[in-house]
Structure 1
Amino acid sequence: MRTFIVANVTKHPTDIVRRAAEKFDCSRQAIHRHIQRLLEVGALIESGKTRSRTYALAQLSSWRQHYEVASSGDEGDIWMRDVRPQLEPLATNVMGIWQYGFTEMFNNALDHAQARSIAVAVTKTAATSEVSIRDDGVGIFHKIQAALGLLDERHAVLELAKGKFTTDPQRHSGEGIFFSSRMFDCFSTTSGSVSFSHQAKAPEDWILETDASGGTAVRMELGNHTSRSVNKVFKQFTTGDDFGFTKTVVPVRLAQYGDDNLVSRSQAKRLIARFEKFRTVVLDFKGVALIGQAFADEVLRVFPLAHPEVELVPLNANKEVSQMIAHVLETSR
């Protein structure tokens, strides 16, 4: 009952007692006893009286630290010495996700950002924990844009969403952000005028316009009692005992901007860039209203002819998109 209360009180601050009583088919008095215990141990806070009373998660801890890149040490040392103690105690699978996500993102800031300083913040409630990493470097999307000669920073988000992209292939595989974004309940990367966000409960990627300053900010949030694990996430996109990164899910919607429709071959070429690095590419058409014949032909006929070893799997296509896909596939036979 207490786990249910902690997990749901943020969404239902005024009626959590009623909802818990209905969930467990018990009296409100019984739920109040559990809430009282959560108040006593500091997991919840209350405000108001009688019918206007509301409940909220209490912040169990809050910690911040600035690191100078020149003298910070490596991400493993900082994880063990500073960050891990702020998150403990948590289950082994949860700590495994935090170790992977923090060390990957902090290392990115060290190796790629050309930053002078990095700020880390950790907050924890009874339900969730959150870690943010902010640097004062060149900005991740700007750096990818420059490396690939892209017209717009938003194009860089699409490359991150695919996975297997890095501006330093000698030292990095380009997998860190992709897998980290899939491990956490909420994951976002903000830089310049663009923010890339992925949420586990609504597994789709978003590009948001922002007015952020320079550098890059990464925010990761995870439920303290999640059953997710590093291995479970890897297995969704890899094959074999060596966890070969062979499958990716690409939100096709990220290839369009504003009210533009996906109709041109140039848009398609931007989408399919580096698909040949995977064995399976799931094309998630969720949020795409329609696609043009030239776009569909380039993605679903021209690319497979050039790369028959790559399997393309359309997903979540509406009626109009499905009809265009069917038309192109029929003409390719």
Structure 2
Amino acid sequence: MARTDLASATTWITSLVQRHPSGLAQAVAARAGCSLAKARRLVHQLTELGWLKRSGPLNRPQFEAGPMRQIVQRYPLQGLDEDRPWARDFAPHFSLPAHVREMMQHAFTELLNNAIDHSEGTQVAISLRQTNNHAQLLVSDDGRGLFDKIREGFDIEDPAAAMLELSKGKLTSSPQRHTGRGLFFTSRLADVFDLHANSHAFQHREWRESHWVQGKAMRQSGSAVYLAIALDTSRTLEQVMRSASLDGESYGFERTTLPLRLLTGEHVALESRSQARRVAARLGQFKQAELDFSGVERIGQGFADELFRVFARDQQQVELQIRNASRNVAAMIAAVQAS
């Protein structure tokens, strides 16, 4: 059996074995369009790799899904309700710890709803895979792409600046129907979160000091989001949903973190007042803003003055917290604050 056939089989064997726990080889032969002998070899390979578990006598084997599982589905977006694919096509086929299942359902429905309400596409493809260590979700649509949507709705041309706005939270093109919480909290549920759209990519890693960084783009049109949650994580949906409140106990969205490294590059430093105004945009919606200077070696006097003197004076209800500032950055901030 060709390796490509084995790879293809992993996308449908999880659902097939639940329908055919006995007579699985015959079902595989019909599904793969191959001989019964080849189907038996494929079943053996899938069992050896952990996609299937075998029990019962040799002449009447019984099969069930193994620790490795995957469901792949494609849906037309028109008229699609995000809760039904999860309940009908995905959740019954996986064996996840209860708190991971809650987080994955939240991520699944939020990302699918984004595709339905915002992508302006026609199709969405969803893949959910369970391994020995992780639950992995991929949601991709054929729409116009997230950064193109933000460019039109908010006049933000630079995808890195758009990602900075997304990282703040509360950004939505439909404020009557959405609060801008979805992508913000979904990214914080995951250990690994990758966003691809319009030839740009950004990555969020839970363990990394500077959470959002630019990645290698894999998508020119539409949007694709990949996330992975460790099965042994101690993180819970409740903890994440409460994490943006000041007291950590309520569901208020009162604090945010800005990864300022997003606005820098090999030839671009945080120098100007216009950059500072871009950082400060919409911060009046929060009570506390954590400014993360990871990877930023220096800032200009104009940038620092606009953000830490002018904005701080005009928006005194917003507490600015400085995080991971280098010696040079801290000195410049102290200088403008002293003036």
* TM-score band w.r.t. shorter chain: 0.7 to 0.9
Equivalent runs, 1:277-288 vs 2, <5 Å: 277-288=285-296
1:167 aligns with 2:169: no
Shift, 1:279, TM fit: 0.2
Which of the numbers 69, 74, 80 marks the counterpart of 2:81? 74
Cα offsets for 1:114-157 (capped at 9, x unmatched): 01000001111111110100000010111001111123222211
Change (3 A) 1:65 1:289: same
Partner amino acid, structure 2, of 1:61: R
1:291 aligns with 2:299: yes
Cα offsets for 1:72-114 (capped at 9, x unmatched): x31111111112224x322221111101111111000000000
Paired residue for 1:133?
139
1:123 aligns with 2:151: no
Paired residue for 1:222?
229
Q: Which runs of 5+ in 2 are unaligned?
A: 1-46, 52-65
Paired residue for 1:35?
none
Distance 1:177 1:66 in 2: 21
1:205 aligns with 2:212: yes
1:326 aligns with 2:334: yes
Shift, 1:220, TM fit: 0.9
Q: Which runs of 5+ in 1 are unaligned?
A: 1-38, 44-57
Kindly indicate whether the alpha-carbon contact (under 8 Å) linking 1:141 and 1:154 is maintained by their aligned counterparts in 2: no
Paired residue for 1:237?
244
1:110 aligns with 2:132: no
Partner amino acid, structure 1, of 2:185: F
Distance 1:112 1:210 in 2: 21
- Match of 1:133, SS state, is strand
Paired residue for 1:253?
261
Kindly indicate whether the alpha-carbon contact (under 8 Å) linking 2:269 and 2:299 is maintained by their aligned counterparts in 1: yes
TM-score (norm 2): 0.78
Kindly indicate whether the alpha-carbon contact (under 8 Å) linking 1:122 and 1:130 is maintained by their aligned counterparts in 2: yes
Distance 2:156 2:78 in 1: 31
Kindly indicate whether the alpha-carbon contact (under 8 Å) linking 2:242 and 2:250 is maintained by their aligned counterparts in 1: no
TM-score (norm 1): 0.79
Distance 2:48 2:158 in 1: 52
Change (3 A) 1:218 1:295: same
- Match of 1:238, SS state, is coil
Change (3 A) 1:170 1:322: same
Which of the numbers 262, 286, 304 marks the counterpart of 2:270? 262
Kindly indicate whether the alpha-carbon contact (under 8 Å) linking 1:158 and 1:254 is maintained by their aligned counterparts in 2: yes
Shift, 1:211, TM fit: 5.1
- Count of paired positions: 278
Shift, 1:257, TM fit: 3.5
Q: Which has the larger Rg? A: 2
Partner amino acid, structure 2, of 1:225: D
Shift, 1:209, TM fit: 4.9
Shift, 1:59, TM fit: 7.2
Kindly indicate whether the alpha-carbon contact (under 8 Å) linking 1:157 and 1:207 is maintained by their aligned counterparts in 2: no
Which of the numbers 165, 169, 177 marks the counterpart of 2:183? 177
Change (3 A) 1:320 1:235: same
- Match of 1:111, SS state, is helix
Partner amino acid, structure 1, of 2:243: Q
Between the aligned residues of both structures, percent identity stands at 37
Paired residue for 1:29?
none
Shift, 1:186, TM fit: 0.4
Kindly indicate whether the alpha-carbon contact (under 8 Å) linking 2:78 and 2:116 is maintained by their aligned counterparts in 1: no
Distance 2:246 2:108 in 1: 24
Kindly indicate whether the alpha-carbon contact (under 8 Å) linking 2:196 and 2:218 is maintained by their aligned counterparts in 1: no
Distance 2:132 2:215 in 1: 29
Distance 2:217 2:320 in 1: 33
Paired residue for 2:71?
63
Equivalent runs, 1:188-203 vs 2, <5 Å: 188-203=194-209
Cα offsets for 1:231-276 (capped at 9, x unmatched): 1112221147651100001111112244211110011111111110
Paired residue for 1:17?
none
1:275 aligns with 2:295: no
1:310 aligns with 2:324: no
Paired residue for 1:46?
none
Shift, 1:299, TM fit: 0.8
- Match of 2:130, SS state, is strand
Paired residue for 2:193?
187
Kindly indicate whether the alpha-carbon contact (under 8 Å) linking 2:242 and 2:252 is maintained by their aligned counterparts in 1: no
